[in-house]
A and B are shown apart, each in its own frame.
Chain A
Amino acid sequence: MLDLVLKAFAYSGGIALTAAGITLIYMATRTFNFAHASMVGWGFYIVFAGYSLLGGTPYFYVPLAALFSGLIGVIIYFGVNRYLLKVGASPITLMMSTLGVDLILLASINIFADYLTEVHKLAARYFVLELKDISLGEVNGTSIRAIPFITIIVVVLTIVGLHLFLTRTKFGIAVRATIENTSLATILGINPEKVYVLSWFLGGALAGLGGGLLSITISGYPVIGMTIIVTMFAGSIVGGLTSVFGSLFGGFLVGLSEYLGITGLSLTLGGWILAYRMVIPLAAMVLTLLLYPQGLAGIKIKRLSSQSTRVKPPQGIMKEEV
């Protein structure tokens, strides 16, 4: 049981990081980034390749994975997204463009996996790094691995780091200003382009970080990103898509409910339900969108504690009344 809860935490932490990446890119550039799937997938493969070829522990290669996926993000921005933002493309066009990028990236992961398989004779089309994780000790015969704790630490550090960056540094304030109102920020001398590049880099880095950490928790294969992207989107949407912290929390919640929920259901209803695991995040996402489209970020916590604050109205989710 303890083993299960720890694994659920590790999984949810990874999902939370990737969901935060989706939200960051969406907030800055209004782009639903489908390429996140393959950016996470590259995170898996960087860690796997680094560990298998160079040795050490898988953790060494997690920062490298973050950097790599961050660079992919920057390339996507300069290659595709920048031009489309300039000509004011519709959200659907932005989304489709990232889908095109995702197909190319997916092919590149597959080619890389083929390369690892054929040249280095690694079992790269399906791998499990969980057993290579550091063991912290044993409780009741089950060994406690480091990954849940490290994931939680990384999530907390991300929250603190992002918070400090967005509220204490000049550039962070510029980022918030640009997200809030781009034209006003431009008038005040902020270069929105820098903000876009940064958000693509950070969003990509969060994808790589999440992917790298998830690779130590769950098994990896080339289309892993495609498999879990719905959970990542669900986390991001449950979080409200208007706040990075909201989606960190949303991703955590969706991940936990998926992992623990399906296990709980399988204990009461039987093992057949395990196959419907992905229905949980999907249902969470669809229900959030249809019933409470602002997501967790829209819940008026401050008003609940009887302080009057003006809550930003949700933007652009619902259709305007006809």
Chain B
Amino acid sequence: MVLEIHPIILNILVNFAIGLIITVSLNLEVGIAGISQFGRVLAVITGAIVAAAIPGRILASMFGLPAGAEYADHMINYKIVDQINRILAVNLSLSIGLLFLTLVVAAILGGIIGYICSYPALRLKEAYLGITLLAFGDVLNTIAWNVESIAGGTQGVNVPDVFRWIGVGPERYFGVILILIGFGLLAFIFVERLIRSPFGRALKAMRDSEIAAAVYGKDIVRLRAQALIVGGALAAIGGALWALYTGSFKAVTYTRLTWTFWPWAYMMLGGTGNNLGMLVGVFAFSVLRTMIYSYKTEMTAFIPISPQWFEYILVGLVIIVMVLFRPQGLLPEKPALTLPKNRIEEIMKRIKEAEKR
């Protein structure tokens, strides 16, 4: 069974799903906790490295294939991964187990990265913190790019295809997209629930006034670290899913532009602090970016500009326009209601009646 869906729509959905995971994690740290996270790529690349280095090695050692440093050698790697994929294609429970193992390890390492980031995050203010985290991200990217034994270095590695059981070709494509969308919506719901929990309210209190939150007994050090750990874990899951989806890992593609600045643009478009806005912002950008690439031949006939630069100009313009004319985003943050709306109205009615009497 192959569903006939236009490839452009599928492409939009992939970008949307991955973008959503990364952007809600960014929104949790920036919009809710008020930490200027300019190093989102750090956690994303951590997750991607986990996906590139760990599941393949586990299976390789299980089946007696080379699993040490030579696993990441690009001359051997594709052969190993090919064999692993053939095993995975017929073994559903192994594939799913491996998928979840990868995501769990990615989340743990992403959380550790987040915890490490809390060291500067407790000491530096706004822009200084942003620059420091940006520097951290660049360092990890350089390491992944140059140390061949982890994940292939400049040549990159192939990532075992844990979705092979769905099939090959369009079937796999469609199935993976459904799974990715599922994960994206899960991340969205998770952050949404988190924001409305006591923890989320404490984070907002900290963002609005650290001193006031501290006066009311909130441990600022702990809150910041926790927000960074949760955000880092989520972003690492996003990075791991992306690597698993694409089936390959190359450090050079994890730049601060794609995995830090673009999520920032999505977030600013949607409305910093409003989780629902992330859906809107990510979706709008996914549609725009995919359209630019899909219709590049038609476009270059009109404007003789390579679509890549057109995309840069577009993202830049969106950032500037949002900053100048609508800093609160398309969907501004609203106070989160802790009780359902009709319940609150009922209580208000009761209070008014009590006042009348």
Among B132, B257, B309, residue most surrounded by chain A Cβ atoms (within 10 Å) = B309
B324 close to A319 (CB less than 8 A): no
Q: Check: A282 CB closer than 8 A to any chain B CB.
A: yes
Contact of B125 among A83, A97, A99, A319 (CB under 8 A): A319
A92 touches B130 (CB 8 A): yes
Question: How distant is the Cα of A27 from the Cα of B261 in the complex, in angstroms?
Answer: 24
Closest 7 CB pairs of A and B: A100-B319, A103-B316, A104-B316, A107-B309, A107-B312, A100-B320, A275-B146
Minimum distance in angstroms from A153 CB to a CB of chain B: 31
**Pairs A–B under 8 Å by Cβ, sample size 15:** A32-B131, A84-B324, A89-B327, A91-B126, A96-B323, A97-B323, A99-B261, A104-B320, A108-B313, A275-B146, A286-B135, A290-B124, A290-B132, A316-B125, A317-B125
Among A84, A90, A275, A286, point to the contact of B120 (Cβ < 8 A).
A286
Which residues of chain B have C-beta atoms less than 8 A from A114's C-beta? Answer: 305-306, 309
**What's the minimum C-beta distance from B222 to chain A, rounded to whole angstroms?**
12
How far is A251 from B59 in the complex, measured between Cα atoms in Å?
49
How many residues of B are in contact with the other chain, CB < 8 A? 47
B window 121-161: CB within 8 A of A:
122-128, 130-132, 134-136, 138-139, 142-143, 145-146
Q: Is there an interface contact between A93 and B132, defined as CB atoms closer than 8 Å?
A: no
A279 to B139, Cβ gap below 8 A?
A: yes
Interface flags, A196-238, vs B, CB<8A=1, else 0: 0000000000000000000000000000001000100110010
B315 proximity list for chain A (CB < 8 A): 100, 103
- Which residues of B sit under 8 angstroms from A275, Cβ to Cβ? 142, 145-146
Contact B312–A104 (Cβ < 8 Å)? yes
Chain A residues with a Cβ under 8 A of chain B: 32, 79-80, 83-84, 89-93, 95-97, 99-104, 106-108, 110-111, 114, 226, 230, 233-234, 237, 272, 275-276, 278-279, 282, 285-286, 289-290, 293, 316-319, 322
Complex contact A276–B261 (CB within 8 A): no
Residues on A with C-beta less than 8 A from B12 are none
Additional 8 contacts, C-beta under 8 A, given A99-B316, A100-B320, A110-B312: A79-B320, A96-B319, A111-B305, A114-B306, A276-B146, A282-B135, A282-B138, A290-B119
B220 touches A102 (CB 8 A): no
Instruction: Out of B122, B128, B305, B316, name the residue touching A289 (CB < 8 Å).
Output: B128
Chain A residues in 8 Å Cβ range of B327: 89, 93
Instruction: Tell whether, in the assembled complex, residue B123 and residue A103 are in contact, meaning their CB atoms are under 8 Å apart.
Output: no
Taken together as a complex, chains A and B put the C-alpha atoms of A278 and B146 apart, in Å, by 12
On chain A, the residues within 8 Å of B142 by CB distance are 275-276, 278-279
| B146, chain A: closest CB distance, angstroms | 4
Interface flag for B189 (CB, 8 Å):
no
> Is B324 within 8 A of A80, CB to CB?
yes
Complex CA–CA separation, A83 to B132 (angstroms) = 27
**Complex: chain A residue closest to B141, CB-CB:** A278
The residues of B that contact A79 with a CB separation of less than 8 Å are: 320
Given the complex, which residues of A lie within 8 Å of B210, measured CB to CB?
A: 322
Q: Is the CB of A104 within 8 A of B127?
A: no
B127 touches which one: A32, A230, A272 (CB < 8 A)? A32
> What DSSP secondary structure best describes chain A's contact surface?
helix
User: A108 contacts which chain B residues (CB < 8 A)?
Assistant: 309, 313
Q: Mark B104-128, 1 if CB is under 8 A from A, else 0.
A: 0000000000000001101111111
Nearest CB of B to A182, in Å: 18
B316 contact set on A, CB distance < 8 A: 99-104, 107
Near A by CB (< 8 A), chain B positions 313-344 give 313, 315-320, 323-324, 327
The chain B residue sitting closest to A109, CB to CB, is B309
Chain A nearest CB from B140 CB (Å) reads 10
Distance, CA A275 to CA B142, complexed state (A): 8
Q: Is B36's beta carbon under 8 Å from chain A?
A: yes
Task: Indicate with 1 or 0, residue by residue over B185-215, a CB within 8 angstroms of chain A CB atoms.
Answer: 0000000000000000000000000110010
Q: B173 an interface residue at 8 Å Cβ cutoff?
A: no
B220 is contacted by which of A106, A272, A290, A322 (Cβ under 8 Å)? A322
Instruction: Tell whether B310 is near chain A: CB-to-CB under 8 Å.
Output: yes
- Shortest CB–CB separation between residue A99 and chain B, in angstroms? 6
Tell me whether A111 and B323 are in contact (CB under 8 A): no
Among B120, B123, B131, B312, the residue within 8 A (CB) of A233 is: B131
Does the CB pair A282–B139 fall under 8 Å? Answer: yes
Q: Contact check: which of A92, A102, A110, A226 meets B126 at CB < 8 Å?
A: A92
Cβ of B324 to closest chain A Cβ, rounded Å: 6
B237 part of interface (Cβ distance < 8 Å):
no
Cβ of A18 to closest chain B Cβ, rounded Å: 15
- Distance in angstroms from B156 CB to nearest chain A CB is 15
Alpha-carbon distance between A104 and B320 when the two chains are bound, in angstroms: 10
Is residue B268 within 8 Å, beta carbon to beta carbon, of the partner chain?
Answer: yes
Chain A residues within an 8 Å CB radius of B259 = none
Q: Contacts of A93 on B, CB cut-off 8 Å?
A: 323, 327
A226 to B141 alpha-carbon distance, docked (Å): 14
B261-316: which have CB < 8 Å to A?
261, 264-265, 268, 305-306, 308-310, 312-313, 315-316
Q: Are A96 and B123 in contact (CB under 8 A)?
A: no
A56 to chain B, nearest CB (A): 30
Asked if A318 contacts B123 (CB within 8 A), the reply is: yes
B324 and A106 within 8 A (CB)? no
